[in-house]
Amino acid sequence: MKALKVTAYGGPDVLALTDAPRPTPKAGEILIRNVASPVSQADVMMRAGTPRAARLMLGLRRPRAAIPGTGFAGRVVEVGPGVTAFAPGDAVFGETALGFATHAEYVAVPADGLVMPLPPGLDFQAAAPLCDGALTSWNFLYRLGEMTAGQRVLINGASGSLGTMAVQIARDAGAHVTAVCSGKNAALVRRLGADEVIDYHAADFWKEGARYDIVFDTVGKVPFRRARRALRPGGRYLSPVLDLGLMLATLTSRLGRRRAMFQATGLQKHEVLRPMLAEMTAMAASGALTTVIDRVYPLAEASAAHAHVEAGHKVGNVVLSIAAAESDAAAA
């Protein structure tokens, strides 16, 4: 099979398209012919080995996982012994987390892991990013932020992969949503459900005088020391982008009236994540949750996809198209 490999930390040029053995599903696993896989900011950071502290988990000198990528969407082609929940031909999507290996034509995953049937009416490219932007946003807003109807929620980076999902999730919860993004993306986030839009080129939200119950900084661009000015007493600043400043803020704010909070969503137990993913699947099936796709690249152009994401101006999601050759599929 064709697969991306990365043998050293660095820029997009460290990615190489190579031939790799097709996985064989073990007991309790399913083998998926991968059709689509997202390229997220987390993928870019893991390829680059940043922040450096993450290398303690990813590999000190080089990535332990030779094949990158965590999100997938495709069809089951083979099941291992003991699997009854899935059968060949089933359309599925999900995430491997620290198992990586999804930027390849085939991926083997535990049948009881973070894998779900494809929602009706949703195609593979739209489903592939759900475990990144949507699942992370759901976890942060509901579990960490304890979001409820009527609250005022600000989403910074509202036009990105997490932000576009967060706007829709907060809108669906009945919150009053303020979206912070470039002015050129204002119409998009309004269509997704934002009540108000702040153009970050024209204003700094923490200086505007408005107060929020939740500030969800999806891109980690506004440190807690600034964002806290826009929080009501009891308000929460949430960010999935961990750096030293946020790490210290999560510790020092515990006794204060405004909290800074972080959690690595992908590292939570599957029994915690699966119910959240089921909720999002239902939203997507009903049309209440839409995946915004900026660009789609073939697997052979993954370096260009990484460069686009790394530039920091994508709108919604970037997806790799990874349809295996028909001859391979027939041989499965």
Q: Return d(Cα 162, Cα 324) in angstroms, integer.
A: 28
Query: Residue 265: pLDDT band by 50, 70, 90 thresholds?
Result: very high
E strand or H helix at 331: helix 326-331
pLDDT at 102 over 50: yes
**pLDDT for residue 41:** 86
pLDDT in the model for residue 61: 83
Q: Which domains does the chain have, with CATH numbers?
A: 2-122+291-331 (3.90.180.10), 133-266 (3.40.50.720)
**What confidence tens digit (pLDDT) does each residue in 155-203 have?**
999 999 999 999 999 999 999 999 999 999 999 999 999 999 999 999 9
Instruction: Tokens for 51, please give them.
Output: 């922040």
pLDDT > 90: percent of the chain: 81
Contact in structure between 212 and 152 (CB atoms under 8 Å):
yes
Alpha-carbon 136 to chain mean position:
6
User: How far is residue 156's CA from residue 182's CA, in Å, rounded to a whole number?
Assistant: 10
Q: Could you give the CA distance from residue 34 to residue 73 in angstroms, rounded to a whole number?
A: 6
For 124-156, what is each residue's pLDDT tens digit? 999 999 998 999 999 999 999 999 999 999 999
- The per-residue DSSP string of 144-163 comes to IS---TT-EEEEETTTBHHH
- Give the separation between CA 198 and CA 204, rounded to whole angstroms: 8
For the chain, give the mean pLDDT: 92
| Single-letter code of the amino acid located at 246 | L
Nearest to 259 by CA among 211, 214, 205, 207: 214
